[in-house]
Amino acid sequence: MSPGAAAVAHDEELVAFLKEVRKGLGLARPDSLPDLPSTVLDQLRIDPDLPAERRIHQFISLVSRELNRMGHEHVAMTSYARLGLNLGGSSQQWTDRVNARADSDLVHARTVIRKVNAAFTMLAARLAASNAPVIEDAKHEKVALARLKRIVDRRGELKVVRWDVTVRVFAEHVQVHEVIEVLSQSPDAQYYVVGKTLPYKTSRVQTEVLEGAELLEVEQPNAHWLLELLCMPEPIPPGETHRFTVLHDTVGMAPMWTATGHHDMDEMNVRVWYADRVQRPTWLIEDFPPGLLRGDDIRPILREHAVETEVDRLGNAAHRFTDLKRDRTYGLAWTDREGDEA
C-alpha cells in the first residue's frame, strides 16, 4: 500500500472511531466511551501503555484543541463536529441531538447526519496532520517553542480594565461567559492572550469567541496550562478601549473560577449560578498569592484562607472586585458535588 493510500485508510479508521464515539451521550460521558483502537493510538501518537482512562482523556484533549483551531476557518463544519461529539455536554442521545438540529435548521435528519460525517472527515484529516510524526524531533520541538513564544510575547499589548464573568455550573459541564474590556498600551495593539491554569489534568476546554475578536491560535504546552491568542478586528490606538466576549465550555473543570492578572485592574465582577439551585458552600478568593490553589483537593486551603459568601435561593453567588493587583488571584470557588463539605 502506498503512503497516500495508507494515510487515507488510517483517516477512515479515525472517522469510524469518531462515529462510535458519538453514540449515546458522546464526549459528555467519557467513562462510557469505547477504548481507542491501536491504529488510532498510533496515528495520534497516544501512548498505548497509558491506562484506558488517560488514553481517552488525551484523545478528548487532542480533539478539543483541533476543533478550536478548526473553528477559525470552518465555523459550520466545527459546529457539526461539536454536535456529533456532544462537546457542549447535552443530556440528549445522538439521535435526539440530530433531530433537534434538523428541526432547528428545517432540514431532514439525514442531512444533518451527512454534514456531521463530512465534519468528522475533515476533523480526522486535521488530527492526523497535526499529530503526524516528524523526522527531526529537535526541529519539531523548536517549532513548537517558537509558536508558544509568539503567543506569550503578545501579553503586554492590551491591559484588562474591566472583566465581567458569569459561570454557569451544570451537572456535567460548566460554561464560563466572559466580557472583557481592554485598554491599548502600545501603537497598533491588536492581540490578546487568554491564559488558563487547569488544576485538574482531565479538564477540557472548548472556546468560542462570540463577538469583538477572533480566535487565532490555541496551544496547550502541558496538562495544566492553556494559551489562546485572540485578534481584535483592527489595531486599537493607545489610550482607547475595546470590548469582546468569549464563551468557554468546560468538562472536568476544577470547582472554581479565578484570574491572576499581569497588570493592575480597575474592576472585575464574578457571578456563579448553580443550575440545580442548590445553595452549596461558595468561597470568596481575594488577593491570594498565585499558585496557592493547587492540588486535587483545595478545600483545606479554602477553609484556612477564604471567606464563605452568600448564595441566594435561585443559586446565584456574586462579588464585585475593585482595585485588583497584578500577580494576585481573585475569584470564586465552590463544592463540586452536592453534599461535599469543605
Please report whether residue 148 resides in a domain. no
Domain that holds residue 53: 3-133
Q: Does residue 266 sit within a domain?
A: yes
Provide the residue type at 169 as one letter. Answer: V
pLDDT surpasses 60 at 10: no
Helix ranges restricted to H, the chain: 3-21, 38-43, 52-73, 75-85, 94-105, 109-130, 137-152, 299-305
* Residue 142 located in a structural domain: no
Residue 44 CA to residue 124 CA, distance in Å, equals: 10
Domain co-membership, 101 together with 185: no
Is residue 146 in some structural domain?
Answer: no
Please check whether residue 127 is in contact with residue 59, taking contact to mean a CB–CB distance below 8 angstroms. Answer: no
Most confident of 9-13, 55-59, 275-279: 275-279
**Chain segment 96-153, per-residue pLDDT in tens:** 999 999 998 888 999 999 999 888 888 888 887 766 543 344 444 455 555 556 656 6
Say yes or no to pLDDT of 309 above 70. Answer: yes
| SS3 call for 47 | coil
251 and 324 inside one domain: yes
Instruction: Give pLDDT, residue 198.
Output: 80
Instruction: Mark whether 115 and 223 lie in a shared domain.
Output: no
pLDDT of residue 153: 64
pTM, 2 dp: 0.59
The answer to whether position 143 is within a domain reads no
Residue 199 resides in a domain: yes
- Say if residue 168 is in the same domain as residue 303: yes
Per-residue pLDDT tens for 170-205?
Answer: 888 899 999 999 999 888 788 888 888 887 777 778
Closest to 155 measured CA to CA, from 100, 105, 194, 103: 194
Residue 214 — φ and ψ, nearest 5°? -135, 150
Q: How is residue 168 written as a grid cell? A: 454557569
Residues 277 and 239 in one domain: yes
pLDDT for residue 73: 63
Please tell me which residue, 293 or 228, carries the higher pLDDT value: 228
Distance of CA 184 to the CA centre of its chain: 26
| 33-44 per-position pLDDT tens digit | 888 888 888 888
CATH of the domain at 196: 2.60.40
Say if residue 99 is in the same domain as residue 177: no
Pairing status of strand 158-169 against strand 265-274: parallel
Domains in the chain, number: 2
Q: Where a domain ends, among 65, 100, 133?
A: 133
Mean pLDDT, residues 204-233 taken together: 82
Sign of the C-alpha dihedral computed for residues 273, 278, 279 and 280 taken in this order: negative
pLDDT of amino acid 155? 62
* CA geometry: angle 22, 27, 28, nearest 5 deg: 115
